[in-house]
Amino acid sequence: MKPPIVIISPALADANNGNWQTARRWASFLRHQARVSVARTWDGSACAAMIALHARRSADSIARYAASGSGGLGVVLTGTDLYRDIRGDASAQRSLELADRLVVLQPSGLDELSARHRAKAVVIVQSAPALRAGRPRQRTFDLLLVAHLRAEKDPMTAARALARLEDPTLRLVHIGAIGDRSGGSAGNSVGADFVAAAGRDPRIELHGALPHAATRQLIKRARILLLPSRMEGGANVIVEAVRSGVPVIASRIGGSVGLLGADYPGLFPVGDDAALAELIWRTRNEAGFLAGLRRHCEQRGALFDPERERDAVRALAHNLVFVHHASSQEQEQ
């Protein structure tokens, strides 16, 4: 009989964000070996293991499940966990203590943990099916920004960078909710500022939130994916772009460096719109630079293969279910 496993995600299908995509994908990986459910909070039902996304936002479910002694507990650390909450939020810090296993979504995430917490951490790099690159629009050079608008995503750096460039063929295409739908801070004001920037610059195109499949189709037809975020745990959208043959320009933060490599030439300092504008100009006007970005991304592509992620997620679940069970038996004896 398959053991029951619950995946706790603060965001479900209605949010259509990275946490939900991770929860959905991991549930599909585990259904051959477990009875999997996905929920925002734990309802107290019997489970052989819990995998909880977000140390702070899932802290209540994590604490109640740990107290129940029901089974193994894995906690997946998001960008706001790693780069903000575990430094000062008591509930996030408690989640680190309670977890049997911690999960980071790219290797640089381990650097944010103490030696004691690192000892029970594993790296599971996210994945996406490969898509053949689409034919980009020829009369414009499309830069794609995929993010629900909130402060952590820093979309205004992209808008300011575009404003520095007079090229009328450049187009900044945004996909995502204008207001914050994921619980981040200051989402509404960031969204309003970005909409105002679009009103001033007709080269900014607002598509709003789209289904995941439609978003992937637009990604594969872009020239460049932009990711100016201030914090990311390991962005799904980088993985999806690379697996679609689309190069990335990203802020130099731990989550993006962990996926793209420290030597990736398409990185710029956080919030530096002048440096971002220079990289955009080079991709638009230097064919060799764009080709170099594409080569780097192709070399990283194998890291994002779904079979690698599937095997790692299944190993995590096996460990949580069976190692915890064995440990409980030893304690009873």
Evaluate whether residue 60 is within a structural domain. Answer: yes
Evaluate whether residue 207 is within a structural domain. Answer: yes
Q: How many domains is the chain partitioned into structurally? A: 2
Residues whose CB is less than 8 angstroms from the CB of residue 221 and which lie 6 or more positions away in sequence, other chains included: 133, 134, 135, 136, 137, 142
User: How confident is residue 182, by pLDDT bands cut at 50, 70 and 90?
Assistant: very low
Output the pLDDT for position 256: 97
What is 160-183 written as a DSSP string? Answer: HHHHT---TTEEEEEES-SS--SS
Assess contact for 62 and 98: CB atoms under 8 A.
yes
Output the pLDDT for position 323: 72
pTM for the full predicted model:
0.90
DSSP category for residue 228: -
Q: Tell me, what CATH number does 286's domain have?
A: 3.40.50.2000
Output the pLDDT for position 199: 97
Domain that residue 183 falls in: 141-303
Statement to judge: residues 286 and 322 lie in one domain:
no
Q: How many helices (H) and strands (E) does the chain have?
A: 15, 12
Per-chain mean pLDDT for the chain: 93
Evaluate whether residue 133 is within a structural domain. Answer: no
- pLDDT tens digit string along 279-304? 999 999 999 999 999 999 999 999 99
- pLDDT tens digit string along 82-126? 999 999 999 999 999 999 999 999 999 999 999 999 999 999 999
Kindly provide the b/e burial profile for residues 265-286, where b requires at least 16 CB atoms within 10 angstroms of the residue's own CB. ebbbebebbebbbebbbbbbee
- pLDDT tens digit string along 35-75? 999 999 999 999 999 999 999 999 999 999 999 998 999 99
| pLDDT at 180 exceeding the cut of 60 | no
- pLDDT tens digit string along 130-158? 999 899 999 999 999 999 999 999 999 99
Evaluate whether residue 22 is within a structural domain. Answer: yes
| pLDDT at 9 exceeding the cut of 50 | yes
Statement to judge: residues 106 and 178 lie in one domain:
no
Statement to judge: residues 46 and 158 lie in one domain:
no
Average pLDDT over residues 309-313: 98
Q: Lowest mean pLDDT: which of 13-17, 22-26, 72-76, 100-104?
A: 13-17
Q: What is the dihedral of CA 40, 42, 46, 52, to 10 degrees?
A: 70
User: How confident is residue 185, by pLDDT bands cut at 50, 70 and 90?
Assistant: very low
Statement to judge: residues 237 and 321 lie in one domain:
no
Output the pLDDT for position 133: 85
Statement to judge: residues 310 and 299 lie in one domain:
no
Statement to judge: residues 167 and 232 lie in one domain:
yes
- pLDDT tens digit string along 258-280? 999 999 999 999 999 999 999 99
Output the pLDDT for position 12: 80
